[in-house]
Amino acid sequence: MSAVLQSLVNQPYKHGFVTEIESDIAPKGLNEEIIRLISAKKNEPEWLLSFRLKAYQKWLTMTEPKWQNVQYPKIDFQEISYYSAPKPKKKLASMDEVDPELLRTFEKLGVPMHERAALAGVAVDVIFDSVSVATTYKQKLAEVGIIFCSISEAVQAHPELIQKYLGSVVPVGDNYFAALNSAVFTDGSFCFIPKGVKCPMDLSTYFRINTEGSGQFERTLIIAEEGASVSYLEGCTAPRFDTNQLHAAVVELIALDNAEIKYSTVQNWYAGDENGVGGIYNFVTKRGLAKGVNSRISWTQVETGSAITWKYPSCILRGDNSVGEFYSVAVTNNYQQADTGTKMIHLGKNTRSTIVSKGISAGHSNSSYRGLVRIAPTAEGARNYSQCDSMLIGDQCGAHTFPYIQVQNNSAKVEHEASTSKIGEDQLFYFSQRGIDAEEAVSMIINGFCKDVFQQLPMEFAVEATKLLSFKLEGSVG
């Protein structure tokens, strides 16, 4: 790997700082007591406590998955603190009352949220550590009957919806990390779009992991009723730490007849330093149920951060004619490891799915695409198209593709395409011979490579994604 490429891909993480806010931290360790404490702190109804305890019992019987193509030291789940909340000085009625230190943090991240909310028309449900401290535009959304709030709030205000849908797509015992999340989740977002309502704006959440050593167990639930549609944006950055932080989120989406949910993520959590020390462990379960006829669930993700990414946003296409989409860019550098992909489970007739995955590996990193396309016997006329492209920068990194295809209905049509390319000296030389320096060249090549995915992102998110890739792969040419 040339010196130019080396310096391009080795730019330090720009969001490494810790905000000093008094935190309310639970003692380390996981047991029934802690779960009861979390539930009590949040004043939860009895059924939710039993949901958590059931998940915990399941989790105790499970073992950590070993099939993924990533390596990491064993996680000591008793060394993690499962609850941490910023202590607000008083009850918050508006953004002005939010801790100024917290607001400064957002500013450092380039998220002037109040402005952003006003100018861009985005409602920002700010998550700081595990508890929501401010929600904007809630009332405007409420006028059309949309509920957009923290999941803890929803538990208090709309218990019937939570009870009906929580765990309906990702059951408590679905997998090791989902079971852990179900037992100890502290907060997250809830979004409900009633029948026939098209959400008038993109809904956005900025996650931020803070307090060192506190696990993050977010829980997100989005429901689009018959004929409803919503576009949801999730963006993340985290401060720099040397000890690894575990993140195990669960996201569930439910689309009823003719409903549409578009879920977009830009993730730039701390990935560890150039020697692979530190960084977030990101074990996420994301799944959408296209329950109704003609429903559509679309996942778009730009994954640039975390030391380890283990994530397979999936679609269960149960409704006839339902559509599932997965568009992904995963960038790994230094010693990052990503094992990511999707599952498209075709159950209904004439269900369609599209998978476009772009993996970019640099440094000593390893990136794997892992995907499953399953056509059930009931899925008459189902179709899938998958495209998995990998790009290598330098010669120390790896890219792998593990596509699984199971077809049990012979009327189905499944296509899979894959390619591997490399940014090499010759490509950079071509640009430089036209007067373009290496930094701009790499940025242009990468953005071109990711175009199919970026054009799926909402406009302002696409800009942010382009910037994040630049953070990741550019720097001063030395």
Partner 1 sequence: MIDKNSTTILSVQGLRASINGTEILKGIDLTVKSGEIHAIMGLNGSGKSTFAKVLAGHSAYEVTGGSVQFEGKNLLELPPEERARAGLFLAFQYPIEIPGVANTQFLRLAYNTVQAQRGKEELDPLEFDDFVREKMKLLEMKPDFLERSVNEGFSGGEKKRNEILQMALLEPRLSILDETDSGLDIDALKIVANGVNQLANKNNATILVTHYQRLLNYIVPDFVHVMQAGRIVMTGGKELALELETRGYDWINTNKQSVAGVTA
Gap between the Cα atoms of 285 and 181, Å rounded: 9
By CB atoms closer than 10 A (0-12, 13-18, 19+), residue 16 is middle
Size of the site for partner 1 (CB under 8 A): 23
In a 3-state reduction of DSSP, which class is residue 36?
helix
x-or-dash string of contact with partner 1, 411-430, rule CB under 8 A:
----------x---xxx-xx
Nearer to partner 1, 9 or 123 (CB): 9
Continuous segment of H or E residues that includes residue 194? none
Nearer to partner 1, 102 or 446 (CB): 446
Is residue 463 within the footprint of partner 1 (CB under 8 A)?
Answer: no
Least separation, in Å, of the C-beta of 430 and partner 1?
Answer: 4
Residue 388 contacts partner 1 per CB under 8 A: no
Token pair for 104: 């400064």
CB atoms within 10 A of CB 407: 18
Q: Which of 447, 466, 467, 470 binds partner 1 (CB under 8 A)?
A: 447
- Which one, 293 or 393, has the nearer CB to partner 1? 393
Q: Which two tokens stand for residue 377?
A: 């016997």
Q: Does 448 bind partner 1 (CB under 8 A)?
A: yes
User: Shortest gap between Cβ of 390 and partner 1 (angstroms)?
Assistant: 13
Q: Which helix (H) or strand (E) holds 155?
A: helix 151-157
Bridge partners of residue 328, in order along the sequence: 301, 357
Which of residues 7 and 409 has its CB atom nearest to partner 1 in the complex? 7
Q: Using CB under 8 A as the criterion, what x/- string covers residues 133-172 for binding partner 1?
A: ----------------------------------------
331 binds partner 1, rule: CB under 8 A: no
Closer residue to partner 1 (CB): 93 or 459 = 459
Under a CB-based contact definition with an 8 Å cutoff, are residues 136 and 147 in contact?
Answer: no
Measured from the CB atom, the residue of 17 and 430 that comes closer to partner 1 is 430
Is residue 57 at the binding interface for partner 1, with CB under 8 A as the rule? no
* Of the residues 2, 50, 406, 411, which one makes contact with partner 1 according to CB under 8 A: 2
Q: For partner 1, which is the closer residue by CB, 157 or 444?
A: 444
Positions of E strands within 203-334: 203-208, 219-224, 229-237, 245-247, 250-255, 260-268, 280-290, 296-303, 308-311, 314-317, 323-332
Distance CA 327, CA 347 (A): 21
Residue 445 lies near partner 1 (rule: CB under 8 A): yes
Paired tokens of 275: 């020697």
Residue 435 interacting with partner 1 (CB under 8 A): yes
| Closest C-alpha to 205, from 266, 294, 271 | 266
Closest residue by Cα to residue 264 from 312, 194, 193, 327: 327
Which is nearer to partner 1, 117 or 355 (by Cβ)?
Answer: 355
- Does 80 contact partner 1 by CB under 8 A? no
State the minimum distance, in angstroms, from the CB of residue 8 to partner 1. 14
Q: By CB under 8 A, name the binding residues for partner 1.
A: 2, 421, 425-427, 429-437, 440, 444-445, 447-452
